[in-house]
Structure 1
């Protein structure tokens, strides 16, 4: 799965809120500025959140795959072990 795949803009999200809250960091969902993956704590939180059905349901299946791939990549970078 290509990590530059498109994630659609969500109507229920203001991307500026994510930027305001976390600053200029890398997000697993770069379009909507959701799921920051810049620290080990954020990586673990992002993985936990995207694996909740209600959060994943807000995306198409391929978008969830992209988000999960980005989180896994960040986990390796930050030496964080996450369970599949």
Structure 2
């Protein structure tokens, strides 16, 4: 079994809940990258695809976050694969 995403010291998970409410996040530990709507899925994909944001995670964590975003994209009928 893979390790969970680590808690980031530069993030307050309560901020994600305060800003977006009780929604699904691609990073549920830190409540980053909401993936509850098509718009949020597109934004999450865009943000995690930026090197500066991805650098805050291990390669395995980025892969796990991207997989969660891809699953949400399928659920919301969003095409993000062309942005890979």
Bin of the TM-score, shorter chain as denominator length: over 0.9
Unaligned residue ranges in structure 1 (runs of 5+): none
Task: Say if 2:22 is the partner of 1:54.
Answer: no
The answer to whether the 8 Å contact 1:19/1:33 transfers is yes
The answer to whether the 8 Å contact 1:5/1:66 transfers is no
| TM-fit CA distance, 1:7 | 0.3
RMSD: 1.3
- Superposed CA deviations along residues 8-64 of structure 1, whole A, max 9, x for unmatched, are 000000000000000000000000000000000000000000000000000000000
Q: 1:81 to 1:35 in 2, by over 3 A?
A: same
Residue correspondence of structure 1 range 31-42 to structure 2 within 5 A: 31-42=29-40
Please list every run of at least 4 consecutive aligned residues from structure 1 whose deviation after the TM superposition is greater than 4 angstroms. none
Q: Which has the higher contact order (CA 8 A, sep 6+)?
A: 1
Q: TM-score, normalised by structure 2?
A: 0.94
Q: TM-score, normalised by structure 1?
A: 0.94
The answer to whether the 8 Å contact 1:37/1:43 transfers is yes
Unaligned residue ranges in structure 2 (runs of 5+): none
How many residue pairs get aligned? The number is: 82
